[in-house]
Amino acid sequence: MDERAARGEAFIEQDREFHLLLMEPLGNELVTQLTAAFWDVHAIVAHTLDATPESVRETVEAHHAIVTAAAGDVAAFTRAIAAHYAPIQRRLQEEPGRQEPAADA
């Protein structure tokens, strides 16, 4: 991913594999299948999220932080996961025409 990101290339398949590898030690086939399903959908809609070079770098940095923290620092792992999804959440919130759910829903 580092090399592809440095060249400005997409790395969706490598990203998918990264997340599936994270799920492997859990030994939970359902979680692995749900993660794979998420990535199947993400691959379809990723082009609509307008990734920027900055967001691609953030993704790679977040992956490094996740791997480092996975060695046993639960608090750092939690922070790394939250940081990893922050760019996607930001892009979804900035998406034109996005509607907030009704307050009474």
Digit-coded pLDDT (tens) for 41-62: 988 888 777 777 887 888 889 9
Residue 99 counted as domain residue: no
Is the pTM higher than 0.75? no
If one counts every other C-beta atom within 10 angstroms of the C-beta of residue 92, the result is 10
Q: Is residue 62 part of a domain?
A: yes
Residue 105 falls within a domain, yes or no? no
CA distance 2 to 26: 26
CA dihedral defined by 12, 59, 36, 22, rounded to 10 degrees? Answer: 130
Residue 104 lies in a domain: no
| Sign for the pseudo-dihedral over CA of 27, 79, 66, 62 | positive
Instruction: Tell me which DSSP letter residue 26 carries.
Output: G
Q: Among 6-10, 36-40, 49-53, which stretch is predicted with the lowest mean pLDDT?
A: 49-53
pLDDT at 73 over 70: yes
Domain assignment present for residue 22? The answer is yes
List the structure tokens of 5. 């990101």
Calculate what percentage of the chain has a pLDDT beyond 90: 39
Domain residues for 76?
A: 2-94
Residue 7, pLDDT above cutoff 80: yes
Q: For the chain, what is the domain count?
A: 1
